[in-house]
Amino acid sequence: MVMGELRYNMALVVSNILFGVSFSVYVSLLQGTIQTSQLFVIQLLFSLLLFTPAAMLHRDFYRLTLNDFGSIFIVAILVIFGWWYMLMTGASYTNPIDASTIATIGPLFTLITSIIVHSRRAKLGEKIGIFIALSGVVAILVDRGRVLVVDGGEGYGNAIVLCAVVAIAVNTVLIAPVLRRHGAIVVMGWYYIIGALLALPLILQELPTISISHLSHLELGELAYILIFGSALPMYLLYVGSEHLTATHTAVYRYIQPVVATIVALLRGQAIIDSTNIVGAVLIFFGMLCVILSTPRQETIRG
């Protein structure tokens, strides 16, 4: 039992470390020679080839109810287009420190979604925590640029990252029951198939334009990291850990991401820590802490 819990804890730790590094890699690639739509297509097709054959070996792959398929269909849109594509778009404008700090607010939106889905009243401590944490996000958004729509600056990029975080948070609430019934491999196999079908026009448009011959050795290494360690693997580990551990574990381990992203970004000279980063991170942390301490144990706060 203890070894099993250790395994699931390690899954969350490794997942968040890999996600933390991926913020730096996304920024480097997308502010370089690879376009967002091209990287999206490469990443989607790679994940499709990686997970679908394994998923098709499971009996549950062919036994989905109509309701489960509907949930996975919605999740495919939220994860692949809401999380992946919007995160890539935001990363092409902002810096890894801001993006990873904003990403830690994911469990907060998971809580808000859960409260709405289950039609329960938010406790006073939860309301205070939500206000404090959102204040931290607003501090980062406004400091990077007051124009957050169709601007092209860091503020715009951070706003897009926030939308991506909301999408993955809502996904976590919707997919939890299906994960428990069918497992991560089956669910991920199906939503990559659905995502590829929905993105087929974009795939057909971008695939002929994709060439890696012009990429440097560093860019090739970064691309390999994103495909293997920056998206599919950490998402799988996140699902496995979240399926077996408490909401508190999932929320607390999320704070590994900005620490790792900040260290990598500083080492690579991609960003500097300023007062806004510190104030925003502190507000988000204490807001989330207030929420965690106030939320009933049976309530799920994953993301």
**Termini Cα distance of the chain:** 24
Residue 281 has a pLDDT of 85
**Interatomic CA distance for residues 271 and 101, integer angstroms:** 13
Locate the domains of the chain by residue range: 2-294
Q: What is the dihedral of CA 138, 144, 146, 150, to 10 degrees?
A: -110
The percentage of the chain sitting over the pLDDT mark of 70, rounded to a whole number, equals 89
Output 275 or 2, whichever has higher pLDDT. Answer: 275
Q: Provide the CA 67 distance to its chain's centre, in angstroms.
A: 24
The one-character DSSP state at 153 is: S
| CA nearest neighbour of 175 among 163, 161, 191, 196 | 191
**Interatomic CA distance for residues 278 and 283, integer angstroms:** 9
Residue type at 23? F
| CA nearest neighbour of 277 among 96, 91, 131, 151 | 96
**Average pLDDT of the chain, as a whole number:** 84
pTM: 0.81
Judge whether 144 and 274 are in contact, CB under 8 Å.
no
Range with the poorest average pLDDT among 24-28, 188-192, 249-253: 249-253
